[in-house]
A = this chain, B = another copy of it.
């Protein structure tokens, strides 16, 4: 018998991703989102949700583009900072010393020091309620070469993860390898 917790957004794991945009004055900004995920394979798309009151919401509506920047586990405090302060009130790149790189593919900046970034062109805007969902088509994924494994993919053991738990508002890192997908479940077939 389960206990009711009410109609709450307590699902885990949630990401902690930094969304890169240019503001109306051309200033680069980064904001944190935890409401989001991959949403389509073809075209390859990411979904991120933002309240209309946020600075980044207006930036995406105007520029029709954004980047998603995935922090290394050691960068948890940086991605948390991006979620505390509004781009209206602070130059977050100047404050953190991180580098905004202008994308060649979309009208948005990505974070040079983050290990994995996605350059996204705005594909759909879905009004849900308090949050607007922006669906961005991934034009390219770019990675820090030092984070790649011999297979040319990002090595999770090097990057780790910043996993947001909306229940207690805390971040966790990446744990042990549990097994191979589309494989370990065959024991039940």
Contact = CB atoms under 8 A, between A and B. Distances in A.
B170 A180 contact: yes
A184 B141 contact: no
B166 A163 contact: no
Interface string A144-166: 11001001111010011111111
Interface residue tally on A, bucketed by range: 35 or more
A75 to B, nearest CB: 10
Given A40-B128, A41-B130, A161-B163, A185 B47 contact: no
Question: Assembly of this chain: how many copies?
Answer: 2
Given A116-B10, A126-B135, A2 B145 contact: yes
B178 A167 contact: no
Nearest to A76: B178
Interface in A109-140: 112, 116-118, 123-124, 126, 128-131, 133, 135, 137-140
A127 B111 CA distance: 30
B182 A3 contact: no
Contacts of A185: 77-84
Contacts of A8: 44, 138, 141
Given A2-B112, A11-B70, A14-B37, 12 more contacts: A3-B143, A7-B140, A12-B70, A12-B159, A35-B40, A45-B128, A77-B185, A80-B179, A80-B183, A81-B186, A170-B178, A173-B177
